[in-house]
Amino acid sequence: MRKEEGGGLPRGRHLREASGIIAVAMAVVALFAALAPAYASAPEDGQGQAAADEPPGVQECLACHSNPMAQTLPSGEQFSLQINRDAFGESVHGEQLVCSDCHTGITSASDHPQRAITSARKYTLSQYELCKRCHFSNYARTLDSVHYNVLVRGDTAAPVCVDCHGSHYIQRPDQPRAAISRTCSQCHNAIFETYAGSVHGRALIDGNNQDVPVCTTCHGSHNVRDPLTSDFRLEMPQLCGDCHANRQLMGKYGISSNVLKTYLQDFHGASISLRQENEGQIAPEAVCSDCHGVHDITRPTDANSPVLKANLSVTCQKCHEGATPQFSNAWLGHYEPTLHKATLVYFVKWFYRIFIPFVLVGMTLHIILDVFRVITNR
Ligand code: HEC
Ligand code: HEC
Ligand code: HEC
Ligand code: HEC
Ligand code: HEC
Ligand code: HEC
Ligand code: HEC
Ligand code: HEC
Ligand code: HEC
C-alpha cells in the first residue's frame, strides 16, 4: 500500500500532473536525441517507483534519470546517466539531500550546463569537489596527502572522494570495519592480499575483530602520508605501541604488553628514541617492522615468522652482516632478565642496583666528612 501525501493532493492526481510535465520533458529529450545521437532517449521508468516521501527535488530529476540513459563519449566509453532510485534512497544522503544540494548548478531539466564531457575520468575529476561544500574538513585534509600529490603531478589514477566513497550510493565507510581495507584494496590489491594473511588482517576479516589495525589506523584515510620517510619510521614504535603497550587490550589476547618498554631499553630502541624528527636521514637502527614485517606480521610462533628462533639470525643479517645463531641467541629480545632467563644479566642488573646507590651514598658521606674536617681544622 502507498501512503497518501499528508494534506496535499491525492497521490494519484499529483502523479498524473507530474507525468504530464514529464511527458513534455521527455519530448524535449527525444528531440535532442534526434538532433544529436550522443543523447540517449529516456524510455519508460527504469526501476523503482517514487516513494511517497521522496522530496520533489529528487523526484523531478529521477523522472528522467532513473531510466536507462547513456551517452557515448569521444573517448569511446558508454557514459551512463542513470541513477538507481532505491540505492540512492538508502545511501547516507538519501534522506537528507536533494540532487541539487550537490549539483548546485542544475536545479531543473532546463538548466543543464553545456558541458563537453570527453572521458568519464575527466568528468569525475571535474566534479568531485562538489563534496567540499559540506565536508570541508575532510577535503582540507586530503590536500596534505600523497594521493593529492600524485594527482597534482598529473597522474589521474590517484583517488578522489568518489573513488573511495562513491557518489550516489555512499554508505558509512567504516561499517563493517573490514570495509575500510577493501576500499584501499581497489588500487592496492597486492598489499591488501598480504595484509589479509597477516595476524592483524586475518583477525579482522575472519573474526570481525575491532581491536586490530586496518589500513587507515596506520596510514590515515584522508591525509595519507608517504610511509617511507624518516619521520614515519621514527614514529613507528609509538604507532605499534599505542596498542601493544596497552595492558588491558593485550591481556585479552594473552600477548605481552611489555614489548615497547623492552624495545626502548634495548640498544636499537634506546638509539632510536634519541634521534630527532626532521633529520631527514633514514635511521639505521631496527624498528618493529624490520624484525616483524609490516603488512605480513605473523605470530612469533608461526613457522615462517621472521622472529622465530630458527629464522632470527637471518633477520639480524639484514643489518648485522654475518650474524650467526649465537649472535641472535645471545640477545634478550623482549624478555626482561629474570632469575631463570638470562641469569647472569639478571645478577649484573641487581649488582648495579645495589652497587651504584652504595657508591653514591659512600661518596656523598666521604665529601661531607671531608668538608666537615676542613671546617673544624681551621
Ligand atoms: C527531461 C529529462 C531530464 C531531467 C528532468 C533532468 N535531466 Fe539531467 N540530464 C538529462 C540528459 C538528456 C542529460 C545528458 C545531456 C546533458 O548533459 O545535458 C543529463 C545530464 C545530467 C548530468 C550529467 C552532465 C552534467 O552536466 O554534469 C547531471 C549531473 C544531471 N543531468 C543532473 C540532473 C539533476 C540534478 C536534475 C534535477 C534537477 C536533472 N538532471 C533533471 C535529462 C534530464
Ligand atoms: C552527495 C552528492 C551528490 C548527490 C546528492 C547527487 N549527486 Fe549526481 N553526482 C555527484 C558527483 C560527485 C558526480 C560526478 C562523479 C562521478 O560519479 O563520477 C555525479 C554525477 C552525476 C551524473 C552523471 C553520471 C554519473 O553517474 O557520473 C548524473 C546523471 C547525476 N549525478 C545525477 C544525479 C541525480 C539525478 C541526483 C539526485 C537523485 C544526484 N545526482 C544526486 C554527486 C551527487
Ligand atoms: C549538501 C551537503 C552535503 C554534500 C554536498 C555532501 N554531503 Fe556527505 N553528508 C551530508 C550529510 C548531512 C550527511 C549525514 C550525516 C550523518 O547522518 O551522520 C553526510 C554523510 C556523509 C558520509 C557518512 C558520514 C559518516 O559519519 O559515516 C560520507 C562518507 C559522506 N557524506 C561523503 C560525501 C561525499 C563523498 C560527498 C561528495 C560526493 C558528499 N558527502 C557530499 C551532507 C553533504
Ligand atoms: C583513499 C580513500 C579516501 C578518499 C580519497 C576520501 N575518503 Fe573519506 N573516508 C575514507 C575512509 C576509509 C573513511 C572511514 C573512516 C576512517 O577510517 O578514517 C572515510 C571517512 C569519511 C567520512 C566520515 C568520517 C569523517 O571523517 O568525518 C566523510 C564525511 C568522508 N570520508 C568524506 C570524504 C570527502 C568529502 C572526501 C574528498 C574530499 C573523501 N572523504 C576522500 C576514505 C577516503
Ligand atoms: C583509486 C585508487 C586508489 C585508492 C582507492 C587508494 N589508493 Fe593509495 N595510492 C594510489 C596511487 C595511484 C598512489 C601513488 C603511488 C603508487 O603508484 O602506488 C597511491 C599511493 C599510496 C601510498 C604511498 C605509497 C608510496 O610508495 O609512497 C599509500 C601509503 C597509500 N596509497 C595508502 C592508501 C590507503 C590507506 C588507501 C585506503 C584508505 C588507499 N591508498 C586507497 C591509488 C589509490
Ligand atoms: C600496522 C600498521 C600498518 C597497516 C595496518 C597497514 N600498513 Fe601500509 N605501511 C605501514 C608501514 C610502517 C609502511 C612502511 C613500510 C616500510 O618501511 O618499508 C607501509 C607501507 C605502505 C605502502 C607503501 C610502500 C609499499 O610497500 O608499496 C602502501 C601503498 C601501503 N602501506 C598501503 C597499505 C594498505 C592498502 C593497507 C591495508 C590493506 C595497509 N597499508 C595496512 C604500516 C601499515
Ligand atoms: C590497533 C591496534 C594495533 C596496532 C596499531 C598494532 N597491533 Fe599488532 N596486534 C593487535 C591485536 C589486537 C593483536 C592480536 C590479534 C589476535 O590474536 O587475533 C595483534 C597481534 C600482533 C602480533 C602477534 C602476537 C602474538 O603473539 O600472537 C604481533 C607480532 C604484532 N601484533 C605486531 C605488531 C606490530 C609490529 C605493529 C606495528 C607495525 C602492530 N602490531 C600494530 C593490535 C594492534
Ligand atoms: C630486533 C628485532 C625485534 C624488534 C626491533 C622488535 N621485536 Fe618484537 N619480537 C622479536 C622477537 C625475537 C620476538 C619473539 C620472542 C620474544 O618475545 O622476545 C618478538 C615478539 C613480539 C611480540 C609477541 C609477544 C607475545 O607475548 O607473544 C610482539 C607483540 C612484538 N614482538 C611487538 C613488537 C613491537 C611493537 C616492536 C616495536 C616497538 C617490536 N616488537 C620490535 C623481535 C623484535
Ligand atoms: C634494520 C637494521 C637492523 C636489524 C634488522 C637488526 N639490527 Fe641490531 N643494530 C642495528 C644498528 C644500526 C645498531 C647500532 C645501534 C647503536 O648502538 O647505536 C645495532 C646494534 C645492535 C647490538 C649492539 C652491539 C652492536 O653490535 O653494535 C646488538 C647486540 C644487536 N644490534 C643485535 C641485533 C639482533 C640480535 C638482531 C636480530 C634479532 C638485530 N640486531 C637486528 C641495526 C639492526
**Residue 146: inside a domain:** no
Asked if 291 and 281 count as a contact pair (C-beta separation under 8 A), the reply is: no
Q: Are residues 301 and 373 in the same domain?
A: no
Note whether 14 and 73 are same-domain residues. Answer: yes
Q: Measured from the CB, is residue 293 less than 6 Å from ligand 8?
A: no
Distance from Cα 304 to the centre of ligand 9, integer Å: 21
Query: Ligand 3, residues 90, 98, 135: which to mutate, most atoms within 8 A of Cβ?
Result: 135
Q: Is the CB of 221 under 6 A from ligand 6?
A: no
Residues 14 and 43 in one domain: yes
Residue type, 1: M
Tell whether 19 is covered by a domain. Answer: yes
Average pLDDT over residues 197-219: 95
Q: Which atom of ligand 1 is nearest to the CA of 127?
A: 27
Supply the pLDDT for residue 29.
Answer: 41
Q: 222: CA distance to ligand 4 center in Å?
A: 6
Q: Which of 219, 242, 244, 287 to mutate to test the pocket of ligand 6 (most atoms within 8 A of CB)?
A: 219
- Is the sign of the CA dihedral 279, 281, 282, 285 positive or negative? negative
Among residues of the chain, what percentage have pLDDT more than 70?
83
In the listed set 95, 118, 141, which residue is the last one of a domain according to the structure?
118
Nearest CA to ligand 3 atom 10: 93
Please answer whether residues 55 and 62 qualify as being in contact, where contact means their C-beta atoms are separated by less than 8 angstroms: no
Domain span at 300: 255-336
Q: In this structure, is residue 155 part of a structural domain?
A: no
Inside any domain, residue 205: no
Residue 70 pLDDT class (50, 70, 90 cuts):
very high
Residue 320 and residue 297 in one domain: yes
Q: Are 231 and 278 in contact (CB under 8 A)?
A: yes
Structural domains of the chain, count: 3
Point out the ligand nearest to the CA of residue 157.
5
Judgement on whether residues 29 and 100 belong to the same structural domain of the protein: yes
- pLDDT of 332 reads 75
Residue type, 279: E
Same domain for 290 and 371?
Answer: no
Give pLDDT tens digits for 264-296.
999 999 999 988 877 788 899 999 999 999 999
Closest ligand 2 atom to 62 CA: 35
Does the residue 189 lie in any domain? no
pLDDT class for 330, splitting at 50, 70, 90? confident
Strands (E), the chain: 70-72, 78-80
Cα–Cα distance for residue pair 377/304, rounded to 1 Å: 74
Measured from the Cα of 133, ligand 3's closest atom is: 5
pLDDT in tens, 158-187: 999 999 999 999 999 999 999 999 999 999
Q: Is residue 231 part of a domain?
A: no
368 and 312 part of one domain: no
Q: Which residue would you say has higher pLDDT here, 317 or 7?
A: 317
The single-letter code of the amino acid at 221 is S
Distance from C-alpha of 288 to C-alpha of 236, rounded to nearest angstrom = 7
Q: Which of 258, 256, 253, 148 is nearest to 203 (CA)?
A: 253
Nearest CA to ligand 7 atom 42: 212
Q: Whose CA is nearest to atom 9 of ligand 3?
A: 93
Paired strand residues for 72? 78
What spacing in Å lies between the alpha carbon of 88 and ligand 2's midpoint? 10
Q: How far apart (Å, rounded) are the C-alpha atoms in residues 82 and 92?
A: 19
The stretch 101-120 carries a mean pLDDT of: 93
**326 Cα to the center of ligand 8, angstroms:** 18
Judgement on whether residues 1 and 109 belong to the same structural domain of the protein:
yes
Residues 350 and 281 in one domain: no
Whether residue 378 is contained in a domain is answered as: yes
Nearest to 124 by CA among 79, 86, 189, 88: 79
CA distances from residue 25 to 20, 42, 109 in whole angstroms, order as listed: 9, 10, 8
Cα 199 to ligand 8 centroid, rounded to whole Å: 14
Q: What was the pLDDT predicted at 11?
A: 37
Ligand 3 contacts CB of residue 173 (under 6 A): yes
pLDDT averaged over every residue in the chain:
85
Total residues belonging to the chain: 378
**Ligand 2 within 6 A of 132 CB?**
no
Q: Is 252 strand, coil or helix?
A: coil
Task: Identify which of 194, 206, 212 to mutate to test ligand 7's pocket (most ligand atoms within 8 A of the CB).
Answer: 212
Residue 115 beta carbon below 6 angstroms from any ligand 1 atom: yes
Q: Last residue of some domain: 118, 151, 186?
A: 118
- Please report whether residue 159 resides in a domain: no
* Nearest alpha carbon, ligand 8 atom 12: 307
Whether 84 and 28 share a structural domain: yes
Q: Which residues contact 375 (CB under 8 A, 6 or more apart)?
A: none
Q: What is the pLDDT of residue 308?
A: 93
Whether residue 269 is found in the same domain as residue 374: no
Same domain, 351 and 331: no
268 ligand 6 Cβ < 6 A:
no
Is the overall model pTM greater than 0.85, yes or no? yes
Domain-ending residue, one of 118, 145, 174: 118
Tell me how far apart the alpha carbons of residues 206 and 196 are, in angstroms, rounded to a whole number.
Answer: 9
Confidence label for 142 from pLDDT (cuts 50, 70 and 90)? very high
In one letter, which amino acid is 341?
Answer: K
